[in-house]
Amino acid sequence: MTKFEIRGLRADVLIGAEERQEILKGVDLTINSGETHAIMGPNGSGKSTLAYAIAGHPKYEITDGEVLLDGENVLEMSVDERARAGLFLAMQYPVEVPGVSMSNFLRSAVTAVRGEAPKLRAFSKELQQAMGGLSIDPAFAARGVNEGFSGGEKKRHEILQLELLKPKVAILDETDSGLDVDALKVVSEGINRARATGEVGVMLITHYTRILQYVRPDRVHVFAHGQVAESGGPELADVLESEGYERFVKAGASQ
């Protein structure tokens, strides 16, 4: 069983040429393979900072704490080493990569993670099946990565990567943002297929409960002022839907 542990994580963000501001203020969280943990909280609470700091974004500086994947501190790894170790990040705003076809990008990524290049015919079949499951037009395989894609198409491509790369830990940063109901269902089905293997732990970052109607979490954590303010079962998401985040925001502000 894979164990992903965040211990006392603190991080600053670069807000000027030399000025930094602390965003993460001691985050503790453990996710095991087969578990889905929803991270919920208001804008500016540090949810996306948590995702990007773990992934190794240069804008963020870890000042204290550890992030352990099966006992190994991923913070000591380069960004590509983290990915090969089994860490996956689906970005809130996926970037375009003109000139690199989606199929070539995905085959290169799969080769890096698996340690050897899959045979072309076998990979083409695997890719077509995965694209079909996400209702992605087969013609998109020849297009530049995310080039000219709608928001929903970009999010489907992120989940396509998840299904092909089969990571140990998937951090999904607001994968539901900008999706209509149909796209949300398709993306959720892809996440659930990955979860069904029992081999991946999922950190699902979201503002809203609507995706949790399709991807049922094992645990829900309320994020406020750079910390986990409260944790509970799936029922906590229902409380947040009815009450909002105001009491957590006020409690943090008064400290």
Instruction: HSE, CB side, 13 Å, CA atoms: give it for residue 195.
Output: 20
Task: Kindly report whether the global pTM for this prediction surpasses the value 0.75.
Answer: yes
State mean pLDDT over 62-79: 96
The DSSP secondary-structure symbol of 19 reads: -
pLDDT tens profile 148-194:
898 889 999 999 999 999 999 999 999 998 899 999 999 999 999 99
Q: For residue 153, give both structure tokens.
A: 């198409």
The amino acid present at 208, given as its one-letter code, is Y
Distance CA 244, CA 251 (A): 13
Distance CA 206, CA 172 (A): 9
The domains found in the chain, sorted by start residue, are 3-253 (3.40.50.300)
Cβ proximity of 14 and 59 under 8 Å: yes
pLDDT tens profile 235-251:
999 999 899 888 888 77
CA distances from 166 to 110, 154, 189 (A): 9, 19, 15
Distance CA 107, CA 53 (A): 26
Q: For 79-82, which contacts have Cβ atoms below 8 Å and span 24 or more sequence positions?
A: 79/55, 80/112, 82/55, 82/56
